[in-house]
Structures are given as C-alpha cells and as structure tokens.
Amino acid sequence: MKNIKYLFISLLAVFFIACDDDFDTPSVTEPVQGTAPVLEGLTEEIDLVLEKKNEGNAIVNLNWTDATYADPIGVRYYVQIDTIGNEFKAPLEFDRVNDITTTITVGDLNTLISSRYAPAKMVELEARIRAFANEDLNSLYSSSFTMKVTPYLDVKIPTELYIYGTATASEVVADALMAYGKDNVFTKYLKLTKDASFKFSDMQSSDGFDYNFGKFATISENIEAAGDDEGNFKFTGETGWYAVTADFVNSSLSIAAYESYVSDYPNIYLVGSLTPSAAGTDYGWDPSQAAEFTRESEGVYSLEYTIPDGASFKFINQQNWDGLDWADADGEGNSGVIAPKGVNTNIAFDGGDAEYTITLDLNKGTYSIIAAPIYPSVVYINGSFVTDWNWSDDAILEMIPVHSNPHLFWKIAWFDADSQIKFNSNKAWDGGDFGKTGDADADGIFTKGGDNTPTGTEGYKMVVVNLLTNTIQVTDPVIYAQGSAFGNWDGGQFLFTTDVTDAKILVSPATVADDNARMYVTATTLTNESGTSVDWWQAEFSVLSGEIAYRGTGNDLPAAPITTGQVVKLNFSTETGTFE
C-alpha cells in the first residue's frame, strides 16, 4: 500500500515538472524512491595486515551524504563488505549506523570477516554504504571502495608464554618452561621428543589460558593435532634440539632445528669475565681456562663457582670458540632462558664474590644461578619445658649438627606430654625464631613455619631440623650400634631398645667382640642435598668417660673400648652413658 502512495506522489511530481518543462520529460515507469548516499572519496589505498595488538586502531573513517526519500523518513545506514567481484550477492554487514559517518577499526573488521575468511591470508574486499528506510522501500547504495586486508586469528596475546607436555622435559603445567618473548613473538630453545605432545599456557597454573591446537592460523610441517581431549599439538620431527617460535603477530607456530642433535655433550665449560675461585685470576674470556661443569645427567650440568660483581659469561661445549655456546635469550642478560650461538647475549650477573650453584639444562632450555644457602652453625630449642620460655635458662637445648651437611641438626631429649617447642640460631626472641605450620604427616614431619611445635606423648623424642627442605621432624629415636664389636659394619642392624626397668635408659645389643663402641642416629629427614640418607658416621656419637660425646662437624671421635658381652646404656636426659 505504501508503494501505491509513493507512486501517486511521484506521478504528481512528475506531472507538475512536466508542465514546467512543456512536457519534454519522459513518463515515469517505476516509483522514484530517493537519492542514494554519496560516499566521500578515499585518499589512500588500504592494504593492511590486521593484528590483534592493534585491534582498537582505526582502518578508515567513512563519511557520506544523507540519502533522501520522497517522503520524510528516518534513514538507517549499514556498511557492507564482500569479496571483490561477488557484486555484493552475499555481503557481510556491520550493525546499523544512525549517522552519516563511522569508523572501521581493526578489531571490528576482523570480527566481521573472520567467519568467512581464513586467518593469515590476504583477501581483497570491497565495501559500500547501504541506506535503509523501511521494508517497503528498496535500499539505496553508495559507490564502493576496495581494500586488501589479512585477518588474524582472534586469540589473546600473552604477556608470558610457557610450553609443556610429553614432548618436553616438563610434562605438567606447574613446571612449564618459559619462552623468551619480544614484540609478541615468543621463542623457546629446548629438546623435543618425536611423536610426543605439547601445548602452551600463559602461566604455570591450571587456570591459565591454553594455547593448544587451533590457536594458531598456520603451523610448520612437523606439527599436527595430537587428537586427544586436551587439544594438544603433536611433534612429528626427530628427537633433538629445536627452536619453537610462537608468533602472535602472524598467528603462526613453527619448530626448526637450531643445531645438529647430539644425545649428550660430555663436557660443558663456563667462560667469561670472571675471577675463578681456584686460580684467582680474571682470564678475560680465555676458553682454554674455562671452568668445567659436572654432568648431572643427559643435557644437565652444574658447577659451584664464586661470582664477583660485574661478571658476564656464557657456556661452551669445548675449550675454544670453534664449538657451540649458549647464553641468555634476553638483551638484559639474566632471564634464566637460554639461546644458542648467534642469537644469545652474555649473561650479566652481580655475584658479590659469593658462591653459587650454576646449572645449565639444555633439555629445558634454562639456566639458573642459585646462591649457596647460608646456614647457622648452631640451633637451639626453647619450649614449655623452660621456665617462661626464657632464652637465658640453663634448660635451653643445643642441637647437634650433622657432619658435612650444614642444613641438618638433631637432638634427642625427654619431653613431658603435650610439650611445645620452637627454634632459633640465637638465644633470643629476635624474629629469627621458627616452629612449624600445619599438621605433621605420618612420619612426624612438619613444614617449617611460625607456630609452636608439639612433641606429643611423654618420652624421648628425636627432633630433626632440615633447613634445606624446611622441615621439622618429631619422632621416636632410632639408634644403631655399629662396628666389629657388635658383629659387622653393615649398619642398620643393632638397634637400641628401651630398658625394661627405666624408660629413660636406651640399651644396645650385647657386643660379640672386644673393640670400640660406635653408634649413630637415623631419621627419614636426615638427608643430604641429593635427598638420600646421610652416612652413618655423619650422625655418629659415642660414650667417653661416662658422657655422651657427639661427633657433630668435628673429626673422628676417640676410641671407646668395650669388651665382649657388654651393652651400651644411654640416658639422654642426663647426657650420660655406661658400658655394662
């Protein structure tokens, strides 16, 4: 019906115009609906690679004239996009515009076209303005303009990127390996295993964002979908050393070998501007004087070294410059992420002339510089057995250090039921005191913290402080006699037991030969830096002149002769012992 109305109006208009023109204008054969919008000419050609990081940037500002219809009607406008040559047969369209100007941004255009066009591939498009009044009137169109754009896969760009999976040396996200990133391109040099899986995360946590299969527009030929529920990538290349590059600018993931794979390098050396602790001379990058690492396992090497301030160094696989080298991936020189020869920078480090453990892990593509821990020479026990917990009280207990293991201290003492204890390296409440946090596990092991540590039921307790693992263990004493006097040196056989007449007396098995009495303690937390039990002699003690004597950090204890058939009786509450 509205078309009949507009036809009638149009015919009247034509009639009166024709009268003015002496009827020279031809007759109207279809309704005149209005004047199409006129798009202002664009001065610059649009040829653009769209990037996620620029999603808020404007591609083009469009301006056009109002479309007009024969009857005053509100007009809405739309920007249409289609492939060049498709004649707008199936256009994509932005939401309506109620003005005669609009801005197309990188993100807006990418969102509109990403449902139709593949990412990371250039496409030639044309765009125009559509004017719309209502459903009874045809839309009116402006002329079109062309543009060449390369859309991106709309995945958020991480600030940090980590790789993990069975193809790498770290299979779980909590231990994922950090890549070096610059300008939204992340690179990781590491060992990859053939036919194993991997993926990425933006953090070392299960609640991070997964960058798995489908998150990159293009991948190299040695990568495919793992086909598992996690959407992992599968690495199909041969096992070896690779550069993994996640390029979020071009939405590409590539893996390329960075050197020929060697199953192991027998020697790795430290070279640089250093003062070697042994020679005491700065050799000024002389590789022939480079310090040799200890090979811990395939691809993993460590070295204890004193590093001065202003040091710079790198790692080499032979004592000359003809071979390989590794150093820092970051220009600042101390990221912990390695890069190979030709793309690395010297590691820069202010060591303050302290000793450090330097570890190079080629499998993980990492290095670490960890200061040797400084442990106290003594640890004291205070507690509810001391009057008012006063540090000046004679009841304060001094723990026994473990030989060659400065992180370990132990003590056997008698505690009343439900006693509470704390520890410090000074006899003072100076803020260095510590106790436990949380509950103990089945072996009586607490995590070091700030709370009082309970000793449990009445009786002898062996207390072990391990400052390497930051644990406190409260357990029943385990004491063994050792040596020829008791039968052999195998260890762990001649256990002390509680005397039947006095709970404060611990008794050894009877000796079988005349020799010296030797004995030691053990506990699950008496472990060295490698996590294995310390040697028996490192926790040894004896009985000398009727008193319990501890080896501690000292030399071998004096001989303690005992005769066949005798037993050793120990009273730790009085720190005395007898041979009977």
Its pTM stands at 0.63
Which candidate, 57, 62, 130, places its Cα nearest to that of 91? 130
Q: What is the pLDDT of residues 547-577, one digit of tens each?
A: 999 999 999 999 999 999 999 999 999 999 9
CA 174/CA 187 separation, integer angstroms: 19
Mean pLDDT of 44-50: 91
Mean pLDDT of 282-292: 82
Confidence of residue 28 (pLDDT cuts 50, 70, 90): very low
Please check whether the domain covering 162-257 is classified as CATH 2.60.40.3620: yes
Instruction: Check pLDDT > 80 for residue 105.
Output: yes
CA 569/CA 412 separation, integer angstroms: 15
Which pLDDT value is given to residue 176? 97
Please check whether the domain covering 374-580 is classified as CATH 3.40.50.720: no
Which pLDDT value is given to residue 389? 97
CA 100/CA 145 separation, integer angstroms: 16
Percent of the chain at pLDDT > 70 equals: 92
| Neighbour-count burial of 18, counting CB atoms closer than 10 A to its CB (0-12 exposed, 13-18 middle, 19+ buried) | middle
Q: Are 535 and 546 in contact (CB under 8 A)?
A: no
Bridge partners (DSSP) listed for residue 146: 126
**Phi then psi for 2, rounded to 5 degrees?**
-65, -35
Which residue is associated with the tokens 């002329």? 143
**Please, what is the average pLDDT of the chain?**
90
Confidence of residue 24 (pLDDT cuts 50, 70, 90): very low
Write down the domain spans for the chain: 1-26, 33-150, 162-257, 269-371, 374-580
Mean pLDDT of 417-428: 97
CA 376/CA 467 separation, integer angstroms: 9
Fold: same for 269-371 and 374-580: yes
Confidence of residue 12 (pLDDT cuts 50, 70, 90): very low
Which pLDDT value is given to residue 5? 40
Angle CA 457–459–460, to nearest 5: 125
> Which of 17-21, 103-107, 140-144, 511-515 has the lowest average pLDDT?
17-21
Confidence of residue 217 (pLDDT cuts 50, 70, 90): confident
Mean pLDDT of 312-336: 90
Please check whether the domain covering 269-371 is classified as CATH 2.60.40.3620: yes
Instruction: Check pLDDT > 80 for residue 27.
Output: no
Which pLDDT value is given to residue 72? 59
Mean pLDDT of 140-156: 92
Structure tokens at 27: 């007759």
Mean pLDDT of 383-402: 97
Which candidate, 64, 5, 61, places its Cα nearest to that of 33? 5
- CATH assignment, 33-150: 2.60.40.10
Bridge partners (DSSP) listed for residue 78: 130
Which pLDDT value is given to residue 9? 37
